[in-house]
Amino acid sequence: MLRLLILVILLAVLIVFALSNTDLEPIWLVSFGWHLSIGTLVLGVGVVALLFGFLIGLIGDMQQRSRARRAEQHVRTLESQLVELHQRLDRLQNPAGSPLPATTPIQPEQKV
């Protein structure tokens, strides 16, 4: 939510700056030149920077999601191994010929 608030404030400042500076100025980039208002240039640079930041964040999110999927798969594998080990332990502790011990429910203590 804080990011969205900062983004809105930054865009509002850029738009106000672009609307305040509408005079055309010659802009040169190496050997290319054109006439453009400074406000439009600043607004364009801001939008390009915003898109670049979004792309960097998207790449980071994709890497994080990939790590999370691998970790979840590893957890599922470990859980299945744990179940298998519990079953093997039960088979070793209770051979096929011996019955399982009877369980009795635990009664809560009665206070007088």
Can you tell me the distance from the alpha carbon of 10 to that of 16, in angstroms, rounded to the nearest whole number? 10
3-state secondary structure of 107: coil
The pLDDT, as a whole number, for residue 23 is 85
Per the CB < 8 A criterion, the answer to whether 36 and 45 are in contact is no
| Average pLDDT for runs of 10 along the chain of length 112 | 88 87 84 86 89 93 96 96 93 72 65 65
In the chain, the amino acid numbered 100 is: L
Sequence-distant (≥ 6) Cβ neighbours of residue 7 within 8 angstroms: 50
3-state secondary structure of 5: helix
The pLDDT, as a whole number, for residue 72 is 97
Per the CB < 8 A criterion, the answer to whether 18 and 43 are in contact is yes
> CA angle, 52 as apex, 48 and 53 as ends, to 5°?
120
Can you tell me the distance from the alpha carbon of 86 to that of 92, in angstroms, rounded to the nearest whole number? 10
The pLDDT, as a whole number, for residue 11 is 86
Per the CB < 8 A criterion, the answer to whether 37 and 23 are in contact is yes
